[in-house]
């Protein structure tokens, strides 16, 4: 077995995550998902500038429901 040196700041993040309650973890997961959707939407708008908001919404839903 080997040891891995962890950055002290990263170690603090890991310890904080371990101490988080299930509710805090769920909230953080939802915040990350919302951020991912915002980033995806922005990327789709940049790639498809002529599409309507309804079309962008459809593409976001397809992405969210994709099985891959």
**Predicted pLDDT of residue 9:** 78
Cα–Cα dist 42/40, whole Å: 5
Domain residues of the chain, as ranges? 22-65
pLDDT digits (tens, 9 = 90+) for 2-50: 777 878 878 888 899 999 999 999 999 999 999 999 999 999 999 999 9
- The alpha carbon dihedral of 1, 8, 34, 50 has a sign of negative
Choose among 25, 20, 33: nearest CA to 64: 33
């Amino acid at each position: 077995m080997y040891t891995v040196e962890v950055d002290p700041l990263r170690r603090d993040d890991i310890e904080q995550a371990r101490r988080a309650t299930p509710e805090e973890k769920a909230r953080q997961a939802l915040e990350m998902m919302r951020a991912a959707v915002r980033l995806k939407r922005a990327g789709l708008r940049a790639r498809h500038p002529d599409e309507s908001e309804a079309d962008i919404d459809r593409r976001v839903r397809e992405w969210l429901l994709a099985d891959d």
